[in-house]
Structure 1
Amino acid sequence: MNRIIAIALLAAFAATTPVLAQDNEKPDYPSPNAIVDTAPASEWLTIAPSDLLVMDLAPDAQGDARRVVIQLMPEPFSQGWIRNIRKLAAAHWWDGTSINRVQDNYVVQWGDAGYDNPESGETEQKALLEGLETVPESGYETEATAGKQGNIVLWHPKNQLTDSYSDWTWFESGWPLAQEIGDDTRTLSRWPVHCYGAVGVGRNYSPDTGSGAELYTVIGHAPRHLDRNIAVVGRVIEGIEHLSSLPRGKGQLGFYEDASKRVPITSIRLGNALAEDPSPAFEYLDTESEVFAQYADARANRRDPFFIKPAGGADICNIPVPVRRVTEE
């Protein structure tokens, strides 16, 4: 089964062709950015405003606004936690909470400081909403059947079709996913992965899985060891610089020991609940399109002028799905 898939994938990527050069000149291979910039409008898909989580932080020292926009995972992934997140946003639960953990090359975490850092001796500051779901650990992954993966599956020539954390990885509906083959080769387990900018649910020790009130985003090397151990509920699609540039916490796990270092959260709302006209609008490059196949190949095999030797492959997190803001004309 793996061999058949490998042949199909190699054929799909081999179909990507460079711009032909004149005479004996070197072929002109476009860069990944150039491929994205020239993608036709038909290759971009709209992100529903209701799938956006918009976090506004207190202004920075210069008085500039700081907004972080998160896209929530689609069905069937992590939906129990996401339903909780929608309820918390609708209730304005996060208003007045804070960014209270910044761990170098790892994560930025936000929510109520009392929940975040029980080792500091603080008590819980804010009661959780009633009626939030308790999601079982089985919710970290979902079953799939053979043949349901997307068109662009990553292969790893130095390690056959596997990476260090899964049997194979691929893109589906705009998201990077990983998969494991069951004993009968027809029962498949799949899950979203922890790439840069991924948003996950903070939790305590198992069997606790977190409610969704404590969230974090990855600001360092992709911590794939967290896959299937913590729920991934979304990704930051705009404003990651407002989180990744924050001073690192000096306490254990990067929590701020000095409460004055915490960054206040003024509000977190769903995109369709913002009191703005127009509300922020975004779209992503269709991961089942030929343009995305060309983009993925260019990321895996950099042949534009700066590069000397193509890598011949790519980690799933080294092919970020292009997302862009839609502006009114």
Structure 2
Amino acid sequence: MTWSPARIPDQTGRIALVTGASGGIGLETARGLAARGAHVVLACRSIRRGRAAAERIGGSTEVVRLDLTSLDSVRRAAAQVRDRHDRLDLLVNNAGVMFPPASRTEDGFEIHFGVNHLGPFALTGLLLGLMTEVPGSRVVTVASLAHRVGLGGFDADRARCAAGRRSVRAYGRSKLANLLFARELQHRLASAGAAAVSLAAHPGLSPTGLWHGDAPAGLRPVVAAGLRWLAQPPQQAALPSLRAATDPDLPGGAYLGPSGLFGSRGAPVPARSSRASRDVAARARLWRLSEELTGVRYDFPPVSVPAAEPATGVCPVTGARG
């Protein structure tokens, strides 16, 4: 039977936080949760846009300012949520960037890796204490079909390489990091006997604000054609995230995406991912690196981490030398 929002269980009494909820897929995810009775925290870079989105969504909502280009902003947002709530049932790491105008975050990280991975990693770590003992709580990380072009390992040099603004490879690497994080988080939650679980989803193709960045010139005709013929509206693109957040039959570690047209559109179903996204050693190395770069350490038992790959003298994000 095809999954649809009509199958979302009653969410009354549950508290959900959705990042990037002022528009696009994040707004539709927040709308779907609020429509079923959840209290939804809209974590947005702009308070004004967040409040406008809350009015459109209706139901029980609040707005918290969150700018993933700044780890200080992440810490302030997490502190605000902890001050207001003593539990969190759902955390949907939806916000992200693709080909943005800036090349580094406030903390000096390559913009895709900083916003799409390090920010959500830090936010999750700072909020997880509200979730680990809450039955049925879930962390949902939104990845992308582009994770398949995220080649290479992860290290501090790659994290700070400034040449990745218009790089498809840089964006893909950040989305590969999303999947590695989601799976390692599930492994650590399960090993710790936590009540919370971690899942991931990808939206396929959708003409949201994410595509408003400055894509590489050679990619623009492909993007235009793909969005015209393969894309689905944000309401449909949000369904994998909504199912990951609410389907009680899904196990921790599940990965969902659209069912048709090479995963670009359709009803949400279990999705396939690249071999690199299932690399257990890479998961552990990325986790250690992320803790070091963000200063956010999760309260899990230590695990052994394989040695990092040696540096090559080449910018690992774009392949450029120097």
TM (normalized to structure 1)?
0.25
Query: Is the strand fraction higher in 1 or 2?
Result: 1
Query: Is the helix fraction higher in 1 or 2?
Result: 2
Query: Greater RCO between the two (CA within 8 Å, min separation 6)?
Result: 1
TM (normalized to structure 2)?
0.25
